[in-house]
Structure 1
Amino acid sequence: MNRQFFLLLCTLSLAACGDAPKPAAAPAAAAPAASLLQLSDTQQREAGVRLAAAAPAEIAETLTVYGEISATDDRLRRISARYPGIAREVLKKVGDSVRAGDTLVVVESNDSLVPYRISAPIAGRVLERHVNPGEAMSEQNLFVIADLSRVWAQLSVFPADAARVSPNQRVEVRAEREAEAQSASIEYVAPDADSAARRVRVRATLDNADGRWRPGQFVAADIVVAQHSAAVSVPQSALQDIDGQPHVFVRSDKGFAARALRLGRQDRRNAEVLEGLKAGENVVVANSYLLKSEWLSREE
């Protein structure tokens, strides 16, 4: 059993055995005092229950699109031989990190038979290698090297949605099956649709100092196309479904109770509250599912 869940059940069970708090004047929608869940500050910390106040927020209207990661053009180098010859030594392979000046290949010139070295012009990572020891080479690309400390998210937008997208809009980019996103700004929107893919290309630059993003990696992105002000909102992590209706667990000076809500606009972070909650009321925003389990068990 989850340790937090076990601790919470134990503390709630002990609280239930004590004297029930005396009823107090409350709105008609409030839960009876006897049914409130009781948790001290220490018990909340041990169970990982965290609170936050319902507050105003900006709710983002987003357009979800997909694409892939690529190296940026200004940080990409294609390296070829200065003179035709034979590759005598090939010192780097795909995936290797290189520093500017590192030797990539030693070439024996066809004209002078004197070896010369081809070096990396920039620091980065080897993305492609098109030469092996003993092979003849002339003008073909031998290596492709990219500095991947910054990369492009190349996104595709349906032409019907392109009018809603413009430079400087915020975009949240995330890898497939990952919830954590990186925020960036749209910096380029193609003037027309790609004739083959029938999509409009959109681009944003991502910081990649930690190496999180890899060229060719599939990504999803939420482009913020509008913002709406909500007078009262709660984090998505606070919401629990009870009998098909969204609820939050509200703490008062008497204890915790489930409160049904009517929601308005939502984004990945927050949900607008139209009815059921006032700004400033404290709600559980972490591990509220533990309270939900105990709450439902008391209704059985």
Structure 2
Amino acid sequence: MAMSKQQRAAVVAILVAGLLGGAAILFSGKGGSAAGEAGHEHAGHGDEDAHGKADEKAASHGSASAPAASPQAEGKPHLIALTPAQIGQAGIGLATAGPAPLRGSVDFPGEIRFNDDRTAHVVPRVAGVAQSVPAKLGEQVGKGQVLAVLASTALAEQRSEQLAAQKREALARATYAREKTLWQEKISAEQDYQQARTALEEAQIAVQNARQKLTAIGATENAGQGKGGGLNQFALRAPFAGIIVEKHLSLGEAVKEDASVFTISDLSSVWAEFVVSARDLDQVRVGESVTVRSSASDTQAEGKVSYVGALLGEQTRTAKARVTLANPGMAWRPGLFVTVSVLGAPAQVPVTVAADAVQQVDGQSVVFVAVPGGFAVQPVKTGRTGGKLVEITEGLQQGARYAAANSFILKSELGKSSAGHEH
């Protein structure tokens, strides 16, 4: 049967549509590799933004364990951006690293102790019973001030002995005067005159002996200690001005002559004691300059080594040393722990910075160096320290400008920047 032209055209159209549909099914069955390559070629010819979006979409449909994109450089910032106005407002002072004479030091742990040369353990020196104890613990007393009044039978006997010696001396003096007159008038023999003179001299010696016994125990020669007093009353007095740091006597308590009833110390002068090992003895000598710093406050004082022990301890193998410190404001209290820095001989150091300029960042010493636009963190290695300066052995050159005053502000800003970067 012959087909018309219209029928043949319709058949051709159907065949072409079928071939195109089969081709589409064939390509989709092979997967996304061909489509991806075609897309990549298409993006390479001028549509990079579309390629980026396609990658993001593909990543969202991909494996959940695939890592997200990260910045190229992670870590703490090493530059702190500040304008000159901000630097001035923060009070950050600049200085130049350079050479300076530096005295190295060796630190020793120590303790403030009483100055034994100005500390007295007061003993009554006569046995007795406390009749009154006006002195109080912690009280500031003056030299000669009455600490306690004791009733002592031993003192009564000594005063009685002195009174008897004085009476005998008076009688011997009168006898001597009479015999001398009789001998001069040739009424009595010279022998009687010589015996009277000898008796007077012996009486004088007895009086002097009794007086010295009373002086040795600190008792007065006159009987009694004020109105109503008796021969047995003894006033225990402060040997010098100081503070009562120990008290072991109460009203009515019986004490022996050698009992330590008060401890008085003049705290206007104290000792800073420390121990020195055998290897450091060459650096610690009498007269060496030292700096004593309190472990509990910012208090410090300058002094000199006043004593170094000649012998090493049998067990510790260390020697004791001390520094005598003036203590006018009572800032140095016995029992306070201190650090004693013994200064060595001065030496010229090529690069030094202010001690306040060195900060610790992540366990490393750093200095903030001035750069255009702010400050850079410069790791350094430190050497000797002396007073307000620190030696820089590595990491900084002479002439470098750095943050000397208030550098801790830069450290704080560095911490803030690090925290913001991590977030």
Aligned residue number for residue 83 of structure 2: 38
Contact 1:158–1:200 (Cα < 8 Å) also in 2: yes
Aligned residue number for residue 305 of structure 2: 186
Aligned residue number for residue 244 of structure 2: 126
Contact 1:234–1:270 (Cα < 8 Å) also in 2: yes
Aligned residue number for residue 95 of structure 1: 138
CA distance in 2, matches of 1:157, 1:239: 29
Contact 2:98–2:399 (Cα < 8 Å) also in 1: yes
Aligned residue number for residue 323 of structure 2: 204
Partner of residue 144 from structure 1, selected from 234, 251, 263: 263
Compare CA radii of gyration and give the structure with the larger one.
Answer: 2
Aligned residue number for residue 235 of structure 2: 117
Contact 1:66–1:221 (Cα < 8 Å) also in 2: yes
Gapped runs of 5+ residues in structure 2?
1-77, 157-229
TM-score (norm 1): 0.75
Q: 1:49 to 1:83 in 2, by over 3 A?
A: same
Q: Cα RMSD between the aligned structures?
A: 3.1
For residue 187 of structure 1, report the CA deviation from its aligned partner. 1.9
Partner of residue 92 from structure 2, selected from 34, 37, 49: 49
Larger relative helix fraction: 2
Aligned residue number for residue 3 of structure 1: none
Aligned-residue sequence identity (percent) comes to 34
Partner of residue 86 from structure 1, selected from 129, 142, 145: 129
Contact 1:167–1:187 (Cα < 8 Å) also in 2: yes
Give the aligned residue type for 1:128.
E
For residue 134 of structure 1, report the CA deviation from its aligned partner. 0.6
Q: 1:91 to 1:255 in 2, by over 3 A?
A: farther
For residue 38 of structure 1, report the CA deviation from its aligned partner. 0.8
Aligned residue number for residue 186 of structure 2: none
1:147-226 paired onto structure 2 within 5 Å: 147-226=266-345
Partner of residue 374 from structure 2, selected from 229, 249, 256: 256
Q: 1:244 to 1:258 in 2, by over 3 A?
A: farther
Contact 1:259–1:276 (Cα < 8 Å) also in 2: no
CA distance in 2, matches of 1:163, 1:121: 39
Contact 1:261–1:274 (Cα < 8 Å) also in 2: no
1:275-286 paired onto structure 2 within 5 Å: 277-279=396-398, 281-286=400-405
Deviation per residue, 1:59-116 (Å, 9 max, x gap): 4433332232222232122222243321111122332211223221122232355433
CA distance in 1, matches of 2:299, 2:379: 27
Aligned residue number for residue 25 of structure 1: none
For residue 264 of structure 1, report the CA deviation from its aligned partner. 4.4
SS at match of 1:141: coil
SS at match of 1:273: strand
For residue 145 of structure 1, report the CA deviation from its aligned partner. 0.8
Q: 1:236 to 1:77 in 2, by over 3 A?
A: same
CA distance in 2, matches of 1:245, 1:197: 35
Give the aligned residue type for 2:384.
Q
Contact 1:156–1:200 (Cα < 8 Å) also in 2: yes
Give the aligned residue type for 2:115.
T
Aligned residue number for residue 65 of structure 1: 108
SS at match of 2:331: coil
CA distance in 2, matches of 1:276, 1:205: 40
Contact 1:261–1:273 (Cα < 8 Å) also in 2: no
CA distance in 2, matches of 1:256, 1:275: 22
Q: 1:159 to 1:247 in 2, by over 3 A?
A: closer
Q: How many residues align?
A: 266
Deviation per residue, 1:102-150 (Å, 9 max, x gap): 2211222323554332221211111222211111223222211111111
